[in-house]
């Protein structure tokens, strides 16, 4: 059976489902095709929470995009009538004069963001649960917090469906065939045709569009929830999200939300993999838990209780860790987004909006020059 749409979105993760919503809301006939269910635990959006911070260590050029994403998340909350964002604040810590701290301060001051600069002593006085050495300092991003990631994807999906989008789940795409004025997509069970195609398939994107030579490395990443040694010690009513830039790695943590435990992950490191061969068992590598315990023992010893559970996800890492959002160089009716390198979820709302505008040939609410594929050539 063949289906015909205005726009096909291949990849129903955070970026794809957001794009589908904005397109369906614009009265486009939209199909979303995903190899799993939407949401799922095979991509990059599972794990309960994702941090949203404004003082951006990855570069001040991201700050206007964060602000736009934040406004769109708030709009989604209102329309979906769901709680999607918890404004807990985010405490970003590192050695004074480090590139990490300097970039956070640069982002915060350049864009006049509300923030507090704290010494290690001031941090430990306010949050005795944190132990730091004197050379550390911190920047408290007071607007920051965390998104409930699976709830965000679910909200976009339900609203997209309300506006007429159709979701084909557990549907493996076998082939994408671009013609001059349309695109054919073949799955294991169906054929699809559309005027426009958006590919947001994470670590699978370069397999679906091999001709554009998308420089993405899939990396296996782990995170885990730990039981604090004292009840209510790290809950979201009094404890912020945290980022630690240490000599042995860059770590991120979330307060204990609704009794799930203190969540911790390491942003750098990980194992190179392929998406279809990814070992999804937490603990398959000795370092899965050990490298997280290393951070807890050094700086958050009261959070280093029993392991509640661990999870595995996949980064689609670009060479410069900046995003890749562009039109196909030979077929401008195909758009793609990837290379989100472990810091993309907070931007899903605005990236989805941008992709919809690209497909509709509308003016973009934010320039994408920084993200174009041509920078690698």
Q: What is the pLDDT of residues 302-333, one digit of tens each?
A: 999 999 999 999 999 999 999 999 999 999 99
Q: Could you say which of 42, 115, 331, 346 is catalytic?
A: 346
Say if residue 363 is preceded by a cis peptide, omega within 30 of 0: no
pLDDT band for position 292 (cuts 50, 70, 90) = very high
pLDDT at 110 over 80: yes
Residue 35 designated active-site: no
49 counts as catalytic: yes
Adjacent-strand bridge partners of 4: 193
Question: What is the rounded distance in angstroms from the CA atom of residue 269 to the CA atom of residue 248?
Answer: 10
Active site residue 45: no
pLDDT score of 310: 97
Q: In terms of pLDDT, which residue wins out, 28 or 231?
A: 28
- Among residues 29, 46, 95, 193, the one annotated as catalytic is 46
Indicate if 88-144+217-317 has the same CATH topology as 2-45+150-214+320-376. no
pLDDT greater than 90 at residue 339: yes
**Per-residue confidence (pLDDT) for residue 303, from 0 to 100:** 96
The pLDDT value recorded for residue 163 is: 98
* pTM, entire model: 0.96
d(CA 64, CA 168): 34
Q: Where are the domains of the chain?
A: 2-45+150-214+320-376, 88-144+217-317
Q: What is the pLDDT of residue 106?
A: 96
> With 80 as the cut, is the pLDDT of residue 185 above it?
yes
pLDDT in tens, 202-211: 989 988 999 8
Confidence of residue 44 (pLDDT cuts 50, 70, 90): confident
Share of the chain above pLDDT 70, in %: 100
Question: What local confidence, expressed as pLDDT, does residue 42 receive?
Answer: 84
Catalytic choice (35, 49, 266, 353):
49
Catalytic residue list contains 263: yes
Burial of 57 (0-12, 13-18, 19+ CB in 10 A): buried
**pLDDT at residue 296 is higher than 90:** yes
- pLDDT number for residue 236: 82
**In the prediction, which pLDDT does 232 show?**
84
**130 — pLDDT class (breaks 50, 70, 90):** very high
Among residues 45, 50, 266, 331, which one is catalytic? 50
pLDDT over 90 percentage in the chain? 92
The CATH T-level fold of domain 88-144+217-317 is D-Amino Acid Oxidase; Chain A, domain 2 (3.30.9)
pLDDT tens profile 139-164:
999 999 999 999 999 999 999 999 99
pLDDT, average across residues 101-118: 97
- Identified catalytic residue from 220, 221, 263, 328: 263
Judge whether residue 108 has pLDDT over 90: yes
Q: For 212-262, how does the pLDDT look when each residue is reduced to its tens digit (9 = 90+)?
A: 989 999 999 999 999 999 988 898 888 999 999 999 999 999 999 999 999
> So what CATH class is 2-45+150-214+320-376?
alpha beta
User: In sequence order, what are the beta bridge partners of 271?
Assistant: 220
- What pLDDT is recorded for position 377? 81
353 catalytic per annotation: no
Told to judge if 313 belongs to the known catalytic residues of this protein, a careful annotator would answer yes
């Amino acid at each position: 059976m063949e289906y015909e749409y205005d726009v096909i979105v291949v990849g129903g993760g955070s970026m794809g489902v957001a794009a589908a919503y904005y397109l369906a809301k614009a009265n486009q006939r939209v199909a979303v095709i995903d190899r799993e269910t939407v949401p799922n635990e095979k991509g990059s959006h599972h794990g309960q929470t994702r941090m949203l911070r404004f003082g951006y260590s990855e570069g001040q050029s991201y700050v206007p995009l964060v602000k736009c994403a934040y406004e769109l998340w708030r709009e989604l909350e209102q329309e979906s009538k769901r709680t999607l964002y918890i404004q807990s604040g985010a405490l970003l810590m590192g050695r004074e004069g480090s590139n990490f701290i300097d970039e956070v301060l640069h982002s915060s001051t350049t864009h006049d963001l509300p923030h507090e600069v704290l010494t290690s002593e001031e941090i430990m006085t306010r949050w005795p649960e944190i132990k730091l050495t004197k050379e550390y300092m911190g920047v408290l991003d007071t607007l920051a917090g965390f998104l409930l990631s699976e709830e965000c994807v679910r909200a976009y999906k339900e609203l997209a469906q309300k506006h007429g989008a159709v979701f084909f789940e557990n549907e493996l795409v076998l082939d994408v065939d671009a013609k001059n004025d349309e695109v054919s997509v073949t799955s294991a069970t169906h054929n699809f045709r559309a005027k426009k195609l958006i590919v947001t398939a994470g670590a699978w994107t370069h397999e679906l569009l091999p001709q554009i030579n998308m420089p993405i490395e899939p990396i296996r990443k782990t995170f885990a929830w730990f039981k604090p040694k004292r009840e209510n010690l790290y809950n979201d009513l009094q404890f912020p999200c945290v980022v630690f830039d240490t000599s042995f790695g860059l770590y991120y943590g979330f307060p204990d939300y609704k009794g799930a435990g203190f969540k911790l992950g390491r942003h750098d490191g990980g194992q190179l993999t392929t998406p279809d061969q990814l070992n999804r068992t937490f603990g398959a590598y000795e370092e899965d838990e050990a490298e997280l315990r290393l951070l807890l023992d050094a700086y958050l010893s009261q959070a280093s209780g029993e392991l509640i559970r661990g999870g595995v996800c996949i980064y689609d890492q670009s060479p410069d860790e900046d995003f890749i959002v562009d039109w196909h160089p030979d077929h401008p009716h195909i758009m793609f987004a990837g290379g989100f390198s472990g810091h993309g979820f907070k931007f899903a709302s605005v990236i989805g909006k941008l992709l919809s505008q690209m497909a509709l040939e509308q003016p973009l609410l934010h320039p994408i020059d920084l993200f174009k594929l041509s920078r690698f050539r």
